[in-house]
Chain A
Amino acid sequence: MSEILKLENVSYVYSKGTPFEKVALNNVSVAFERGKITGLIGHTGSGKSTLVNLLNGLYKPTEGRVLLDGEDIWAKPKEIAKVRYRVGLVMQYPEYQLFDETVRSDIGFGPRNRGLSREEIDVRIKEAARFVGITDEMLDKSPFDLSGGQKRRVAIAGIVAMGPDVLVLDEPAAGLDPKGRREILGGLRRYVEEKNITIILVSHSMEDMALYCDNVVVMNRAEVFRTGTVREIFSESGVLASVGLDVPGISGIAAELISRGIPLEGELYTVEGVKDAILRYIRGGAR
């Protein structure tokens, strides 16, 4: 597998040397596969937010290295800003970072900082807006005149427009209803497929993980607890539950059916997957 982003024995300690010292990450090594969506799950305080901030150089590891395409991102500390264009980070509730007069200009903030040409910036704004579903008409409005869900998309477009190779999103669908979640996460899925970029997605929702991710990294107590494909992690019963995470309701139903003598096989962590498994069972059994 080809890795684009990799952590090597990374530790991060908050307020080192003071009474408030706290180890947020303890000797973590993990790699993120190019062109895939990797889900990052774990409890609040498991270290996943710290990990996210290390990926684009907002935090500097206390120990260990963060490698982007095999190069240490802190090799030249003065050029850390360049890393941030390549590893785009969408923080939680990103709508609170909007500031410019128009949506267009706000989305263009990152590309302008990157020093792209005016034409290039225009193209990127249009493209990013299209990806997140912002209409041309909205581009000339003030971002403060949009609804909460629209603001969220503008903020995501602001990062997408920088043209990152890796897009890291911290709970991009927090607080949105099911339709809003589907639109944002589905849009990202398409984006990965079209542009062949890499996405790292932090979410509390196991359903979203099951539906939209390829790989999963499970964090627990400042360490990486497990890594694997969605199928590996979600099929192995007890992995998620053992670190106190919720198993998708549908997995529970599938597990119960299996234990009651119905041999189901397949992607038993989405409604679609379980439905297909049951259909296969029925149609196979009817033969």
Chain B
Amino acid sequence: MISDITLGQFFPGYSPLHKLDPRTKIILAVLSIVAIFFANNAVSFALLTLAAVVMIAISRISFKVILRGIRPIIIILLFTAVLNILMTDGKGTPLVEFWIISIYTEGIVRAVFMALRVVLLIVITSMLLTYTTSPISLTDGLESLLSPLKVIRVPVHTFAMMMSIALRFIPTLIEETEKIMNAQKSRGADFSSGGLIKRAKALIPILIPLIVSSFKRAEELATAMECRCYRGDKNRTKLVKLQFKGRDIVWFLAIAAITAGIILLSILPYKFVSPGIIYDIAFFKI
């Protein structure tokens, strides 16, 4: 049923990756993104790929799921790869010369790196965040990480509460949309034929009832929350408190080390070691 779909896709489980503190995972995701953007040579990419593979292995999420996550962008990946191969000028002699096309080693390496970069970005962030962290603990993690901003009067708690209520009501609203669609279909509404304008118009009988009932829901929910003594984060405690554990530190150190290494590699002077073909591929800079 449609209502099983939530934002991203969370796979409940009890793997070490699931058990990490959401704040750790958010920090790790940020570190990984930095590392991925600094990575510009084969060693760095090898390190990151290894990290991604380790994450997949211990999360016990099937490889098929990961592939499914990448599938929608494969066309874009191929397209940019081809562009990279064709448009990059190299120093040495081209590998292939044909009509106005010349392909250099640099082009191929660059294309592979670019594709790897996008794939790693998706795999690592979804491994850390969407696949193994429930939306609600993500929200908790964000609220906690952003709480220093409260000092400069950023309503962090309010934003977090809005996020979690949105998450709570997404399945409800999807279910409701389904119901209203069926109701209008029963009155002969047709959502699947005609041109763009006709189709857009056909949505009115769904959107208006949906909006009206959402407002009603919002009002009732606000009343219910007030009756349960809600008054923002004033004097509020929490049932679940986030706590860093040993494994959080281990993970943080590992990823931080990889990131630091990759940054170092990327800013090390190119001429540090004598050039050669093996060297070029290992530490190719783009």
Residues of A within 8 A of B (CB): 14-15, 20, 53, 56, 58, 81, 84-85, 88-91, 94, 96-100, 109-110, 113-114, 144, 158-159, 162
Cβ-defined contact, B212 with A88, below 8 A: no
- Nearest-neighbour CB distance to chain B for A96, whole angstroms, equals 5
What residue in chain B is nearest A161 (Cβ atoms)?
A: B187
Cβ-defined contact, B182 with A113, below 8 A: no
What residue in chain A is nearest B212 (Cβ atoms)?
A: A144
Interface flags for B173-208 (1: CB within 8 Å of A; 0: not) read 000100110111111111000000000000011101
The 3 A-B residue pairs whose C-beta atoms are closest, nearest first, are A113-B188, A99-B208, A97-B183
Q: Is B8 in the interface zone, CB < 8 Å from A?
A: no
CA distance A14 to B2 in the complex (A): 11
Cβ-defined contact, B1 with A14, below 8 A: yes
What residue in chain B is nearest A107 (Cβ atoms)?
A: B187
- Nearest-neighbour CB distance to chain A for B150, whole angstroms, equals 39
Question: In the complex, which of the residues A20, A85, A96 contacts B1, with contact meaning CB atoms closer than 8 Å?
Answer: A20
CA distance A46 to B183 in the complex (A): 21
- Nearest-neighbour CB distance to chain A for B95, whole angstroms, equals 47
* Known contacts A20-B1, A97-B209, A99-B209, A110 near B183 by CB under 8 Å: no
Q: For B189, what are the chain A residues with a Cβ–Cβ distance below 8 Å?
A: 109, 113
User: Which residues of chain B in 1-39 are interfacial with respect to chain A, using CB atoms and an 8 Å cutoff?
Assistant: 1, 4
- Nearest-neighbour CB distance to chain B for A107, whole angstroms, equals 10
CA distance A185 to B53 in the complex (A): 64
Q: For B208, what are the chain A residues with a Cβ–Cβ distance below 8 Å?
A: 99
CA distance A81 to B192 in the complex (A): 12
Cβ-defined contact, A158 with B182, below 8 A: no
Max chain A Cβ within 10 angstroms of own Cβ: one of B186, B190, B205 = B186
Q: Is B213 in the interface zone, CB < 8 Å from A?
A: yes
CA distance A15 to B1 in the complex (A): 7
CA distance A277 to B4 in the complex (A): 54
Question: In the complex, which of the residues B4, B185, B190, B205 contacts A99, with contact meaning CB atoms closer than 8 Å?
Answer: B205
CA distance A72 to B206 in the complex (A): 29
Interface flags for B128-170 (1: CB within 8 Å of A; 0: not) read 0000000000000000000000000000000000000000000
Question: In the complex, which of the residues B186, B204, B212 contacts A58, with contact meaning CB atoms closer than 8 Å?
Answer: B186
Cβ-defined contact, B190 with A94, below 8 A: no
Cβ-defined contact, A85 with B188, below 8 A: yes
Q: For A84, what are the chain B residues with a Cβ–Cβ distance below 8 Å?
A: 185-188
Q: For B185, what are the chain A residues with a Cβ–Cβ distance below 8 Å?
A: 58, 81, 84
- Nearest-neighbour CB distance to chain A for B108, whole angstroms, equals 41
- Nearest-neighbour CB distance to chain B for A60, whole angstroms, equals 13
- Nearest-neighbour CB distance to chain B for A105, whole angstroms, equals 11
- Nearest-neighbour CB distance to chain B for A146, whole angstroms, equals 13
Cβ-defined contact, A96 with B180, below 8 A: yes
Cβ-defined contact, A94 with B183, below 8 A: yes
Max chain A Cβ within 10 angstroms of own Cβ: one of B180, B188, B189 = B188
Max chain B Cβ within 10 angstroms of own Cβ: one of A14, A20, A94, A113 = A113
* Known contacts A15-B1, A88-B186, A97-B184, A109 near B213 by CB under 8 Å: no
Q: For B180, what are the chain A residues with a Cβ–Cβ distance below 8 Å?
A: 96-97
Cβ-defined contact, B188 with A81, below 8 A: yes
Max chain B Cβ within 10 angstroms of own Cβ: one of A58, A94, A97, A159 = A97
* Known contacts A14-B1, A15-B1, A109 near B186 by CB under 8 Å: no
Q: For A96, what are the chain B residues with a Cβ–Cβ distance below 8 Å?
A: 176, 179-180, 183, 209, 212-213
A–B complex contacts, Cβ < 8 Å, 12 sampled: A20-B4, A58-B182, A58-B185, A81-B185, A81-B190, A89-B186, A96-B179, A96-B212, A99-B204, A99-B205, A158-B187, A159-B187
- Nearest-neighbour CB distance to chain B for A117, whole angstroms, equals 15
User: Which residues of chain B in 204-256 are interfacial with respect to chain A, using CB atoms and an 8 Å cutoff?
Assistant: 204-206, 208-209, 212-213
CA distance A133 to B180 in the complex (A): 24
- Nearest-neighbour CB distance to chain B for A144, whole angstroms, equals 7
- Nearest-neighbour CB distance to chain B for A3, whole angstroms, equals 22
Cβ-defined contact, A109 with B209, below 8 A: no
Q: For A53, what are the chain B residues with a Cβ–Cβ distance below 8 Å?
A: 182
Cβ-defined contact, A162 with B187, below 8 A: yes
Cβ-defined contact, B183 with A91, below 8 A: yes
CA distance A270 to B184 in the complex (A): 36
CA distance A58 to B189 in the complex (A): 12
- Nearest-neighbour CB distance to chain A for B110, whole angstroms, equals 41
Q: For B205, what are the chain A residues with a Cβ–Cβ distance below 8 Å?
A: 97, 99-100, 109
Q: For A97, what are the chain B residues with a Cβ–Cβ distance below 8 Å?
A: 180, 183-184, 187, 205, 209
CA distance A110 to B183 in the complex (A): 11
CA distance A108 to B149 in the complex (A): 54
- Nearest-neighbour CB distance to chain B for A239, whole angstroms, equals 32
- Nearest-neighbour CB distance to chain B for A76, whole angstroms, equals 15
Q: For A14, what are the chain B residues with a Cβ–Cβ distance below 8 Å?
A: 1
Contacts A81-B188, A91-B183 known; list 19 others, CB within 8 Å. Answer: A15-B1, A56-B186, A58-B185, A81-B190, A84-B187, A84-B188, A89-B186, A96-B180, A97-B180, A98-B209, A99-B204, A100-B205, A109-B184, A109-B205, A110-B188, A114-B188, A159-B186, A162-B187, A162-B188
Q: For B179, what are the chain A residues with a Cβ–Cβ distance below 8 Å?
A: 91, 96
Q: For B4, what are the chain A residues with a Cβ–Cβ distance below 8 Å?
A: 20
Max chain B Cβ within 10 angstroms of own Cβ: one of A20, A89, A144 = A89
